[in-house]
Structure formats: structure tokens, C-alpha cells
Structure 1
């Protein structure tokens, strides 16, 4: 049984797309979300080697800076043919300017380099780990996954990150072709959030 969450929450991200996604997810529960980016706080160095470790690093940094309950998402794309890469280094593939077109082209180039051209060779999983920490040090962690296939060329203009090349199982659309509400029922982040909501949130 999780601990109830209400009021204001700090989201440990500078990614406006991720902020918009979490605001939409939190809105029905009466939780006001502000990001560390909006507050002008720095990004901590992510020295962990797992999604869980990096989510905790970011959540604790936000808590220490604000004194408010803080939530961090560490998520990434794990490509089977590439041995799970980019994994925790998913954002790094986008370069210092976080250019996701660069990241997706790198993923495509790496897949071609190993001869992964058929759909069954292009399997991938999006992973999202959410860590929520309270001012007294209590913390809880939730994980969600979405399995799918990587397509090329990319399709769609919605979403962010690798969404235009990720087609989730059971759909003919990529995440970037879906309306936000539809993606929010299928995504890895939606699934980790569903677990968080069941444990820590009540409907407003």
C-alpha cells in the first residue's frame, strides 16, 4: 500500500514534452505539477547504470532543492538486436542539443549495421521507472513497459523522443501518430503511472 500524495509535486525534468505528459496524467487527481526546469534548477549528473538508480538520483536532487515531494522518471528504449542499447543512455544518443531526429537516425543506422531489416528483427521495449520521494525520506518506485517494433521511415508528429519510430504491439500507429489521450493508455510511462496512481493517488 503506497502513501497518499496530494498538493504540489516537483517533476525532475527539463523536458517540456515529459512535463506536459505528466500534467495530463496528474490532472484528474488534483495534483499540481511543476518541473525543475521551470524552477531553474540544474540537472544532476546521472551516474547510475540502471533506470532505477538514475530515477532515484534525480528525485532526491529535486527534493533537496525544493523540500517538496518529488517525482523522477528515468526511461529509455531497449532494442533487442542491439543488446538492450541505448537503454539508460537513450537521451545521450540525441547529442548535447537533444536532437531526437539524430537519435532516431542513430538507432536506424545501428539496426542496419547488424542487418535488422525485418519487423521481427526490430523488436524494442520502452521502459519507464518512476521514483517518488517525500520530504521525510520515504520513497516508492514503479516500473512500466511497452513492447513494440521500430519502423523506418519515422511517422507522426505528436509525442517526443523516439515516439515517431516506435509502433506498440496491437496498433498500426506509432506513438507519434496517436492523440495524447490514446498514447497515455498504452505507453510505458502510462503503465508505470497507473501503478503509482493505484498506490498513491485518489481521484479528485
Structure 2
């Protein structure tokens, strides 16, 4: 079986590849010669995930899955949420995004947040949705060199390390994307 993962984000591909069984060949957008930016114009994480998966199936004909992920901070009414990747602007710079969030949370005692990943699978002309959530808190400073995105400022509930301080196997086991991907894998096995 082969499936397209509707992303060119090498960090996401690496995380997901570690969880997908060997009998499933994972293709990236580059592998199918999809070089355009896939639209993400919905106002929810779920909506963007669905939109991306449908786009690949409609325009390229491949069975595929797409994810969309957002960091939702309680005191900011769920922001940055669906705008997480471009929170500080269209340049989509992780450091700029983290700096903006840390500035907005300065002097705030409630730093609770959660990562939410929604995966939409388009398979045999049917759609399936899987959701993974990881609760935690936003730290005061960046810490760690692994991971990507907001990982250096997100500490999962029950852990003293940020995602960026964890090895990939631990992050995949407890993290939002890992939880959603494992639901996807269980579904594909059944």
C-alpha cells in the first residue's frame, strides 16, 4: 500500500515515518510532483486538514492523508490555533511565532495550552478523521534543540522537558501528532 502524506515538511515526514508500518510506502508531495502551495483557507484545524486531503485526491488522484496542527492557548481564547504557522506573519518563522506568543503571555500566570492535530485520510473515495491532543503549558523561555515549531516552549503535562528537549520516540508516544497517527495506523491495520 502507498499513501501520500500531504506535506513537504521534512520534520513532520520524519515523525510520521517512524510510526507508519513498513508495508505502507509513504510518499511526500514532492514524490508526486506537487510543488504548489495547497490551500489552507478554512477557519478551523479540522477544515484545513480536510481541505488539504481533498485537494491532493482531487488534483493528483492519490489516496492520501493530510494533517493540520495548532497550538491552542487557553488564556488567548485558543489562539494561535488555526493560525499557528503564521502567527507572527506570512513568513511562517518559528522563532518569530514563539517570540510573539511569549510576549503575549508575559506576566500571565495561566499558561495552559494544548497541541491539537487533525488527520484526514482520503482512502477509496471515503474520508476518515483522527484527532490527537496533548495538553501542557507554555514555558517562559525557549529550551531544547530538537523538534520544530513551538516545541522549545511547550512542556507536556506531567513532564519537566519541552518537546524540543525530548527524543523523537518519547515525543511520538505522548504528542498530539503521534496520537493521531497511531489512530490512523490502527485504522489502516483493521
- Structure 1: how far apart are the matches of 2:14 and 2:60? 20
Partner SS, residue 119 of structure 2: strand
Q: Does 1:58 align with 2:27?
A: no
Structure 1: 4+ residue segments shifted above 6 A: none
Q: Which runs of 5+ in 1 are unaligned?
A: 1-6
Which runs of structure 2 are paired with 1:80-99 in the superposition (5 Å)? 80-99=74-93
State how many pairs are aligned. Answer: 189
Q: 1:64: Cα distance to partner?
A: 2.2
Superimposed CA distance per residue, residues 107-128 of structure 1 (whole angstroms, 9 cap, x where no aligned partner):
111112xx31x3xx10000000
- Structure 1: how far apart are the matches of 2:105 and 2:30? 33
Q: Does 1:47 align with 2:41?
A: yes
Q: Which runs of 5+ in 2 are unaligned?
A: none
Q: Does 1:152 align with 2:140?
A: yes
Which runs of structure 2 are paired with 1:136-175 in the superposition (5 Å)? 136-175=124-163
Aligned to 1:4: none
Contact persistence 1:10–1:33 (CA under 8 A): yes
Superimposed CA distance per residue, residues 117-143 of structure 1 (whole angstroms, 9 cap, x where no aligned partner):
x3xx10000000000002x42010011
Q: 1:67: Cα distance to partner?
A: 1.6
Q: Does 1:33 align with 2:22?
A: no
Partner SS, residue 74 of structure 1: strand
Aligned to 1:124: 113
RMSD over equivalenced CA pairs, Å = 1.5
Q: TM-score, normalised by structure 1?
A: 0.87
